[in-house]
Amino acid sequence: QGFLSTLLLSSNGSCFILPAETMTVVIGFEGSANKIGVGIIRDGEVLSNPRRTYITPPGQGFLPGETAKHHRSVILTVLQEALDEAGLKAADIDCVAYTKGPGMGAPLVTVAIVARTVAQLWGKPLLGVNHCIGHIEMGRLITNSENPTVLYVSGGNTQVIAYSERRYRIFGETIDIAVGNCLDRFARVIKISNDPSPGYNIEQMAKKGTKYIELPYTVKGMDVSFSGILSYIEDAAHKLLSTSQCTPEDLCFSLQETVFAMLVEITERAMAHCGSQEVLIVGGVGCNLRLQEMMGVMCKERGARLFATDESFCIDNGAMIAQAGWEMFRSGHVTELSDSWITQRYRTDEVEVTWRD
């Protein structure tokens, strides 16, 4: 009794014994964009999840080199906070997970180096995690959704995803820029603050908008395009505002209504194709209450259920990497040190999902 275990074998023959009846503790490092976070998960329980955000002045985005410099300056502090909040020591950790990609190169490298170093110092197995799958698995954990159609919307990604035959299949996506990138770049045009985030500030301004400005609506089958909308509103904003034809709040309102309607349309089409009765919204843009409201109306009309999380877990965080790492580690995944590189392009459907039926 108590001796059932899982043998985890890495590519060079190193092995780790994972007792089946003990609780598994995984620490996750996330830093693919302007958030740096370290989270600890123990069998579905979030023990800690501190993070920091690199915030630039209004009208500016965040550059890879400067973002990586920010991450380097705070990552060890955030790591110590995670351990202290969880009340754990290095010896209590079973696996070290980190974001392998996708994301910005320099920040990803910063986090990977720290994760590799920590894994070696602590003598723990290492595990590279797909950032997108981290969002999905965290959303499934927090909401208890069973098999949802997933809308993944963030500054770098826009995808409609459903699980099928050991893969998270992409049914639709952006063909150019992500919806979050569209919102962020519009915020720069009209000098909206980046604190706490441009998307959040656009959402608050949109609540005060009263006039809808017609914008290009670009859905191509199951895919969407946001670059044309952005170009149009960038050009139109100066003309409309300088002639007092509308307010900045009206533009925020109009942009949100248009791009969110596009996302609801392709999500509903994916639901119909998959016969799904659940929608899960993940990613930083998923915090937007207007998007949740619009998606909720569609779900109600279909007799479906909507699942979403708050900013604690929608926005990039370490716990989501730890949760995906927990699932992968328990099903036998380990990343050998020589394979612990990063990639800026890492498709959601590249990962074999061995932890689901």
Please check if 184 is assigned to a binding site: yes
Please check if 123 is assigned to a binding site: no
Please check if 339 is assigned to a binding site: no
Average pLDDT over residues 282-308: 98
Q: 192 near 58, Cβ under 8 Å? A: yes
**Tens digits of residue pLDDT in 184-193:** 999 999 999 9
What percentage of the chain has pLDDT greater than the value 70? 94
Residue 2 has pLDDT above 60, yes or no: no
Q: How far apart are CA 318 and CA 305, in angstroms?
A: 27
Average pLDDT over residues 291-315: 97
Please check if 48 is assigned to a binding site: no
Same fold, 25-137+315-339 and 147-310: yes
Q: Please, how many CA atoms are within 13 Å of residue 341, restricted to the half-sphere of its CB?
A: 6
**Tens digits of residue pLDDT in 323-337:** 999 999 999 999 999
Average pLDDT over residues 280-293: 98
Please check if 199 is assigned to a binding site: yes
Please check if 131 is assigned to a binding site: yes
Bond into 57 cis (ω within 30) = no
Q: How confident is the model at residue 13 (pLDDT cuts 50, 70, 90)?
A: low
Please check if 14 is assigned to a binding site: no
Overall fold of domain 147-310: Nucleotidyltransferase; domain 5 (3.30.420)
Q: How confident is the model at residue 22 (pLDDT cuts 50, 70, 90)?
A: confident
pLDDT of residue 4: 37
- The single residue listed with the structure tokens 């999905």 is 136
**Tens digits of residue pLDDT in 89-124:** 999 999 999 999 999 999 999 999 999 999 999 999
Using a cut of 0.85, tell me whether the model's pTM lies above it.
Answer: yes
Please check if 134 is assigned to a binding site: no
pLDDT of residue 11: 46
Please check if 152 is assigned to a binding site: yes
**Nearest CA among 23, 37, 106, 101 for reference residue 335:** 101
Bond into 198 cis (ω within 30) = no
What percentage of the chain has pLDDT greater than the value 90? 94
Please check if 288 is assigned to a binding site: yes
**Tens digits of residue pLDDT in 124-155:** 999 999 999 999 999 999 999 999 999 999 99
**Nearest CA among 180, 146, 133 for reference residue 291:** 180
Give, in order, the Cα–Cα distances in Å from 197 to each of 58, 124, 180, 292: 10, 35, 11, 18
Q: What string of DSSP letters covers 112-165? A: HHHHHHHHHHHT--EEEEEHHHHHHHHHHHHH--SS-EEEEE-SS-EEEEEEET
Query: Where do the domains of the chain lie?
Result: 25-137+315-339, 147-310
Is 25-137+315-339 a CATH 3.30.420.40 domain? yes
